Amino acid sequence: MRKNQVDVITLGCSKNLVDSEQLIRQFLANGYVVHHNSGAVNGEIVVLNTCGFIGDAQEESINMILKMVEAKKMGRIGQVYVMGCLTERFMDELRAEIPEVDGYYGKFNWKNLLKDLGKAYHNDPLGGNRSITTPAHYAYMKISEGCNRSCSYCAIPIITGKHKSRPMEELIAEAEALVASGVKEIQLIAQDLTFYGLDIYKQNRLAELLQRLSDVQGLEWLRLHYAYPADFPREILAVMRERENICSYLDIALQHISDPMLRAMRRRVTKAETYELLRYMRQEVPGLHLRTTLMTGHPGETDQDFEELLQFVRDIRFDRLGAFVYSHEAGTYAHHAYADDIPLEIKQERMDRLMSTQEAIATELNAAKVGKTFKTIIDRSEEEFFIGRTEYDSPEVDQEVLISKLDTPQLEVGQFYPIEITSSDTFDLYGRLAQ
């Protein structure tokens, strides 16, 4: 156990990561050495930032808590504190089941952890409110918290509460500070980007926010994550088309396509509206790459519903697609209103078929990129390859561009280069520096 060292472990999504980065900054301002997601956890203090979204994520968080408690018993670490979405949702149960944890905090009261340790909360410590844990050239920026949607399966509004936009001026200032620190790419994140501004400005202000962020000098790429199809603010598409530094990339979670499922999920959008919206997006933003998330096994999903979903994937040919099986979450509308009537093996088999269909599409889409040259940012250097991304790829979730060190001169991490794609497979592109 190392005195004056804090280990922060972050599970779950990038929104959790931003919370961890704020906490890390506070510990640094209080004189601690801080490690994030270290391979060897041995700090005097360990803080675990949990995920509570679905069963698998909850299980991962609980297993990590138990692992840290065991390490504490063995004397390898000191105090263990747990925060985040899982504790926000199941605080009482966790306290009862795992009392060895030194303190539990929710998603929003983690500042109390500093208070309980007898440490000061520093406003704007060390000249900023976060300590970036990502590579220095990109960062996530959370534009809001919470969600006003009422999707049947989702526990997130239970955890985070109603949508709360951050003031635009605050976001512009944060973006300017990030760019001044060396950040070249900002990933805009929220539970629902497309609700931005409705609460504090009484109208959707996402298009204006994108324009103003795009104007920040030195920002090379701006990427949009987590849009919602119902009431989509179509005015943002013109901004995306006209602004060179806004990536032709949109992450829009669709979940399903059959009308019976969309109604059961309480998605407030129809099959016809979804098809029309996606076609309109691609018309307005030529070259737009769409990422989506789909779900299999929601209560009531028939074979016909699933076949419609498969056909939807074939029709739209998503550039990026993730999928998960339905999880029957306590407190959700689905948990109260529906029986979890589809066996896990059928949920899983459907998801496997969905992803197999997508893999074939991804292979074809990647093959079409061979021979073309793309602006590429280098994320890291490995033994045989420099690893980069195009504007069509978000870090950690999307594919990468591998550039062999044998036929490419030294490239710098964090810099942009024109990379000619020489070959491809299902999940990655291979390239060389364009001549």
Residue spans of the domains in the chain: they are: 2-125, 133-365, 373-433
Rounded-to-integer distance, Cα 222 and Cα 289, Å: 14
* pLDDT value at residue 46: 95
For residues 364-374, give the mean pLDDT.
97
Which among 27-41, 50-64, 415-429 has the top mean pLDDT?
415-429
The pLDDT of residue 277 is above 70: yes
For residues 260-272, give the mean pLDDT.
98
pLDDT band at 435 (very low <50, low <70, confident <90, very high): confident
The pLDDT of residue 225 is above 80: yes
Q: Which of 36-50, 271-285, 374-388 has the lowest mean pLDDT?
A: 36-50
For residues 166-173, give the mean pLDDT.
95
For residues 339-353, give the mean pLDDT.
97
The pLDDT of residue 126 is above 70: no
Rounded-to-integer distance, Cα 329 and Cα 340, Å: 10
The pLDDT of residue 55 is above 60: yes
Query: Which CATH number is 373-433's, of 1.10.357.10, 3.40.50.2300, 2.40.50.140, 3.40.50.300?
Result: 2.40.50.140
For residues 185-198, give the mean pLDDT.
95
Closest CA to 356 of 323, 392, 327: 323
pLDDT in tens, 80-125: 999 999 998 899 999 999 999 999 998 888 889 988 988 877 776 5
* Residue-averaged pLDDT of the chain: 94
For residues 343-363, give the mean pLDDT.
97
Closest CA to 286 of 328, 241, 250: 241
Residue 61 Cα distances to 24, 83, 171, angstroms: 19, 10, 30
421 DSSP 8-state letter: E
204 DSSP 8-state letter: -
Looking at the chain, the whole-number percentage of residues with pLDDT higher than 70 is 99
* pLDDT value at residue 270: 98
pLDDT band at 14 (very low <50, low <70, confident <90, very high): confident
The pLDDT of residue 57 is above 90: no
The pLDDT of residue 12 is above 90: no
Q: Does domain 133-365 have CATH number 3.80.30.20?
A: yes
pTM of the model: 0.92
The pLDDT of residue 67 is above 70: yes
Which among 38-47, 51-60, 410-419 has the top mean pLDDT?
410-419
Backbone phi, then psi, for 269, in 5-degree steps?
A: -150, 150
The rounded Cα 77 to chain-centroid distance in angstroms is 30
For residues 33-56, give the mean pLDDT.
89
Superfamily of domain 2-125: Methylthiotransferase, N-terminal domain (3.40.50.12160)
